[in-house]
Structure 1
C-alpha cells in the first residue's frame, strides 16, 4: 500500500487534540480549537493538529467540537444557529475563532486531522480541503459523513484524496473480524484506509491490542490512539507499537517522543 503524503516518514506522530491549551493558557481563558490553541501547537513544534468541523448558520465551516456553545461560552445556542460574526465575538476573548479556510491558509506547514461533526459540514469540508488534500486527514464517527466529505473533495478537484480514518461502525467491524480471525475480510476493509484512530479501550473492551497493531501494519495502516494525556500512558503505548498519540498535552508528548522526560504526569 502506498503511503499517503499526509503521513510523513517519521513516526511516532504527535497529534495536538484541538490544538494545544497549556494550563497557563487555560487560566487566561484560551479555549480549545481556537486560533490561539492551533498557534500554540504550531509554536511548540507540532506537525499534526486534530480538530473538529461544524457549519455556522451562514454556511461557514469553523473549527469547533461541540454542537453548541454551552461548555465553551456558557451559551446554549447551537453552532448551526449562530452566524459567523456572532461566533467571532463570542470567541474573541477565548483565543479567537478560526474557520477551516483560515486554518489551512495561516498554517501551511501544519497537517490537519479533521473530524466532521455535522452532516451539513461535510460538503464544505471536502471542498475546502481539496487544494490541501496531501496534508489533510478526514475522519468522522459517521462513515457516511466521512465519505461525503471525501466525495466532495474529489468533486472539487483534489489531486489526491485526503487521507482517512474510519468511523466507529467500521472500527467495530474490524475489531469483530479480528476476534473471529477473518484476516482477509479485515484486510479488504483496511485497503481503503490510511489510519485507525481509536481509543485504547471502549468500556471493558480493549481495542488497541498487539493483534490489531499487527493486522493494521501488515496492511500499511497506522494506528493512532486518543486521547492520551498521561506521560506513562504515552510511553506504554509507544512501547506497544502505536504510530501516533492524539493528546491534549502535545508539549508533553513531544518531549516523550524526542526522548525526554517531563514532570507533567
Structure 2
C-alpha cells in the first residue's frame, strides 16, 4: 500500500473518531413534545420551539412529518396547515400561510439542518401515517430515511411512528436506526423480535399494562411515554425508571428531576 493511501485512511478514521467524540447528547428523560412551545408561546413544530428545547437542555425534541402532494417532506403536527390538507396540497401553496411567529412551515431538510447545529438534543422524527394509502405512508418512510442519510443526520435522529409497517420499513433501510412504535398494540417481545429500539406508548396504555415497562427493560428496549403533562404521572414514570417522558411541560418535568 502507498503512503498516500495509508495517510488518507488514517485521516478518515481520525475524522470519524473525532465526530463520534463530539456527539454528547443530554442524559435526562425530557422529550419536548412538538418542541418547547407552551411556557414561551412559540408555534408548535417551529424552529423557535426547537431552539427553546435546546435552550432548556432537553434530551430530545419531537417533531411530526408529512409529505405534500408534490412529494416534499414538511414538519407540522396536524394533517392540515391553515385548513389546507398537507397530503393534498403542493408545498408552494403551504408557504402562503406562515406560522404565527412569521416562520414558514419548515421542510424536513431545513428542520434537520437547524437541529444539527448542536449536539445536545436529539431529534425525535415522527413519521405520520398517510390517510390516503399505506403505500404513500411507506413512500414517506423511505423518503424520511433518505433525507436523514443525505444530510448525515443519523446520529441526531431517532424515529417514532404509529404505522407499524412504516417502522419496519425504516428498520429495513437502516438497521442501525433507533425506531420506536407509538400505537400501543404490540407487546415488548413483539417489538424486540422485529428489531424495534423500544416502545413509545400513551400514558393511559402504559398504566393499563405497567408490566410492559419491566418486560421492555429485560429485553433491552427503551420506554418512552406520551403525552405526560400531570405531575403525578411524571413522578410515577420517574419511579419506574423509564428512559424518556414526552411532555408539553418540559419545564415542570425538569423541576421534578432537579428536586
TM-score range for the pair, normalised by the shorter chain length: 0.7 to 0.9
**Unaligned stretches of 5+ residues in structure 2:** 1-22, 131-136
Counterpart of 2:71?
59
Answer yes or no: is the 8 Å Cα contact 2:28–2:58 preserved in 1.
Answer: no
Using the TM superposition, give the Cα deviation of residue 61 of structure 1 relative to its aligned residue in structure 2, in angstroms: 0.9
Counterpart of 2:36?
20
3-state DSSP of counterpart to 2:44 = coil
Higher RCO (C-alpha under 8 Å, 6+ residues apart): 1
The answer to whether structure 1 residue 126 and structure 2 residue 145 are counterparts is: yes
CA distance in 2, matches of 1:189, 1:102: 31
**Unaligned stretches of 5+ residues in structure 1:** 1-6, 155-159, 176-185, 261-265
The answer to whether structure 1 residue 85 and structure 2 residue 104 are counterparts is: no
CA distance in 2, matches of 1:65, 1:216: 28
Map of 1:189-208 to 2, 5 A cutoff?
189-191=191-193, 192-202=195-205, 206-208=207-209
CA distance in 2, matches of 1:13, 1:208: 20
CA deviation vs aligned residue, 1:134-157 (integer Å, no higher than 9, x gap): 3212121111122223444x4xxx
Map of 1:3-18 to 2, 5 A cutoff?
12-18=28-34
CA distance in 2, matches of 1:227, 1:82: 29
Answer yes or no: is the 8 Å Cα contact 1:61–1:99 preserved in 2.
Answer: yes
- Which of 157, 174, 178 pairs up with 1:163? 178
Using the TM superposition, give the Cα deviation of residue 172 of structure 1 relative to its aligned residue in structure 2, in angstroms: 2.0
Answer yes or no: is the 8 Å Cα contact 2:73–2:107 preserved in 1.
Answer: yes
Change (3 A) 1:48 1:244: same
Map of 1:1-265 to 2, 5 A cutoff?
12-25=28-41, 30-69=42-81, 73=82, 75=83, 77-94=84-101, 96=103, 97-108=105-116, 109=119, 110-117=121-128, 118=130, 119=137, 120-130=139-149, 131-152=152-173, 154=174, 161-168=176-183, 171-174=184-187, 186=189, 189-191=191-193, 192-202=195-205, 206-209=207-210, 211-257=211-257, 259-260=258-259
CA distance in 1, matches of 2:185, 2:238: 23
Answer yes or no: is the 8 Å Cα contact 1:63–1:100 preserved in 2.
Answer: yes
3-state DSSP of counterpart to 1:165 = strand
Using the TM superposition, give the Cα deviation of residue 12 of structure 1 relative to its aligned residue in structure 2, in angstroms: 4.2
Answer yes or no: is the 8 Å Cα contact 2:59–2:122 preserved in 1.
Answer: yes
Using the TM superposition, give the Cα deviation of residue 8 of structure 1 relative to its aligned residue in structure 2, in angstroms: 7.6
CA distance in 2, matches of 1:34, 1:13: 22
- In the superposition, the TM-score normalised over structure 2's length comes to 0.76
Computing the radius of gyration from Cα coordinates, the structure with the larger value is 2
Give the count of matched residue pairs.
223
Answer yes or no: is the 8 Å Cα contact 2:28–2:59 preserved in 1.
Answer: no
Answer yes or no: is the 8 Å Cα contact 1:224–1:245 preserved in 2.
Answer: yes
